[in-house]
């Protein structure tokens, strides 16, 4: 088999760009860098549903939740530290709601990926994103009676943010595949 077309292990995670023992650190680094980019570029539109799918596709649920929590903390640090979010109770509660919603999206993505066939990975990732994004938005919408902001849940805004998450998922999966193809340690392990 040519080295440039190594398949992901059929019994392993849907995304396996690095050896499983390095996956949590790789996932944390990848999502942290992407979170920094997204937080500065998009402020309140960080694609946590896409991040949740990638973490769930690469890691078991507990490490995936830890990576998503760390990513959310980076996002909040940038928001309050660099983007000067207002420091008040409502903003802090929205931050916690976003973090909780990201964790729910991670759990939904993991459950979706667990029940879908592995040989249809692109379809499984797409469905996982659809489920994770839906759960994420429902969780945020459920907070609006208490925290305000229901005006941000128009069809146009939700569709735009859904497309943004879809675009980020494609970019993250492409990055994982590029790393997998060019990872010399992984190639050596599979060949031997």
Percent of the chain with pLDDT over 70: 89
Return the pLDDT at 28: 95
Residues of the chain with pLDDT > 90: what percent?
A: 78
Instruction: Band the pLDDT of 68: cuts 50, 70, 90.
Output: very high
Question: Which has the minimum average pLDDT: 4-18, 27-41, 121-135, 144-158?
Answer: 4-18
pTM (global) more than 0.95: no
Candidates 21, 54, 31, 23; CA nearest to 170 is: 54
Q: How many CB atoms lie within 10 A of CB 33?
A: 13
DSSP state of 11: T
Q: ∠ CA(149), CA(155), CA(158), 5° rounding?
A: 70
What is the C-alpha to C-alpha distance for residues 173 and 134, in angstroms, rounded to an integer? 20
**C-alpha span between 81 and 77 (Å, rounded):** 5
Q: What is the pLDDT of residue 5?
A: 37
């Amino acid at each position: 088999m040519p080295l440039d077309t190594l398949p992901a292990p059929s019994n392993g995670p849907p995304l396996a760009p690095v050896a499983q023992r390095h996956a949590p650190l790789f996932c944390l680094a990848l999502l942290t860098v992407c979170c920094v980019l997204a937080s500065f570029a998009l402020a309140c539109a960080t694609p946590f549903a896409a991040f949740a799918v990638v973490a769930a596709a690469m890691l078991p649920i507990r490490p995936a939740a830890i990576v998503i929590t760390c990513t959310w903390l980076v996002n909040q640090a940038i928001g309050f530290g660099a983007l000067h979010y207002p420091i008040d109770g409502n903003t802090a509660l929205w931050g916690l709601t976003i973090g909780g919603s990201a964790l729910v999206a991670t759990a939904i993505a993991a459950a979706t990926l667990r029940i879908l066939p592995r040989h249809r990975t692109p379809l499984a990732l797409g469905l996982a994103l659809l489920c994770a994004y839906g759960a994420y938005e429902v969780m945020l919408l459920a907070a609006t009676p208490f925290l305000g902001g229901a005006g941000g849940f128009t069809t146009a805004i939700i569709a735009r943010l859904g497309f943004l998450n879809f675009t980020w998922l494609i970019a993250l999966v492409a990055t994982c595949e590029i790393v997998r193809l060019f990872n010399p340690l992984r190639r050596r392990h599979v060949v031997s």
